[in-house]
Amino acid sequence: MSDTKIIAVAGKGGVGKTSLAAVMVKLLAEEYPDKKILAIDADPAVGLSTALGIDVKTTIDDIRKEVVSTVEDGDTRTALELLGEARYRIFDALVEQDGFSFIAVGRPEAAGCYCKINSYLKEVIGILSQSFDYVVIDGEAGIEQINRRVMEKVTHLLLVTDSSKKGTQVIQTIHQVAKELVMYEKVGAIANRLPSVELAGMLDTGDIPILSAIPSDSSLAEFDLKGENVFYLPDDAPIVLGAREALKKIEIL
């Protein structure tokens, strides 16, 4: 499926990226029951799995480490064999859920990173993504790691900020970096955890359009605290309404 829609969610830490990414997976699974949806947790904190109620057994980084150790043991296999093995292993790391699939990237490269393997795994994620209609990536604070560790191309870049100056500065920086590094078709911001929705009009997001404004939500904070699955959030929860509005405006829903 070459017309895979790849949605990357990014922004500074603590603005609710992970909850939003999880809610987007929920909305896509509900809206398109006949489509294949993949959630990629690209944040080392592996929070998306908790928000989606998934127990992660194997991450892509675990696979990378295993493959690296066989190479370091003097096993001189060809690049093609390594790619074949990585591809085979990645399917082991894929968790099938009701309505979507999930995979975690895991910890970032340690020192002595094996760049060849990283680029193989990125290729493999690219190959894997082609089997899906929609891919949602919960990224680390920056966009560089999505480009470096996950994929060069995203179709939709969703930047999340709160009402802080730092939040809006970070999304503008990510946007600048993305213009150079990442091929994307559409970009938009979600203003999340606002003390009042009216504040959205006062936020300086540069040339990034604000797709939706979401007020602080005490019930979601409780969900986060308990590590509960967002699939149980009610349809009228502010974050669900806000995520739906953003996905509609960016023509995903």
Query: Which CATH number does the domain housing residue 110 bear?
Result: 3.40.50.300
pTM listed for this prediction: 0.91
- CA dist., res. 38 & res. 101, Å (int): 5
- pLDDT in the model for residue 110: 58
For residue 208, the model assigns a pLDDT of: 97
Maximum mean pLDDT: which of 137-146, 162-171, 222-231: 162-171
* Mean pLDDT, residues 60-82: 72
Task: Report residue 190's pLDDT band, with 50, 70 and 90 as the boundaries.
Answer: very high
Distance between CA 167 and CA 195 in Å, rounded? 14
Distance CA 47, CA 56 (A): 10
Q: Which of 121-130, 192-201, 236-245 has the lowest mean pLDDT?
A: 121-130
With 50 as the cut, is the pLDDT of residue 1 above it? no
**Distance separating alpha carbons of residues 125 and 4, to the nearest angstrom:** 13
**Which residues span the domain enclosing 153?**
5-249
What contacts 44, CB < 8 A, 6 or more positions away?
105, 106, 107, 108, 140
DSSP per position, 194-211: ESSGGGGGG---TTPPEE
Count the Cβ atoms, other than its own, within 10 Å of residue 68.
Answer: 19
| 253-to-93, 138, 238, 243 alpha-carbon distances in Å | 28, 18, 17, 10
For 11-39, what is the mean pLDDT?
Answer: 95
Q: Specify the number of domains making up the chain.
A: 1
Phi, psi of 10 (to 5 degrees): -140, 165
Give the tens place of pLDDT for each residue, 191-217: 999 999 999 999 999 999 999 999 998
Task: Write down the residue that tokens 């149980």 correspond to.
Answer: 232
pLDDT, position 167: 95
Instruction: Report the pLDDT averaged over residues 5-26.
Output: 94
121/135 Cα distance (integer angstroms): 16
Cα 123-27-152 angle, rounded to 5 deg = 20
Residues 6+ apart with CB under 8 A from 14: 162
pLDDT score at 127:
84
How far, in Å, CA of 203 to CA of 152, rounded? 29
Calpha distance 159→220 (Å, rounded): 20
C-alpha dist (Å) from residue 8 to 18, 167, 195, 233, 241:
11, 17, 25, 22, 19
Q: Is the pLDDT of residue 224 over 70?
A: yes
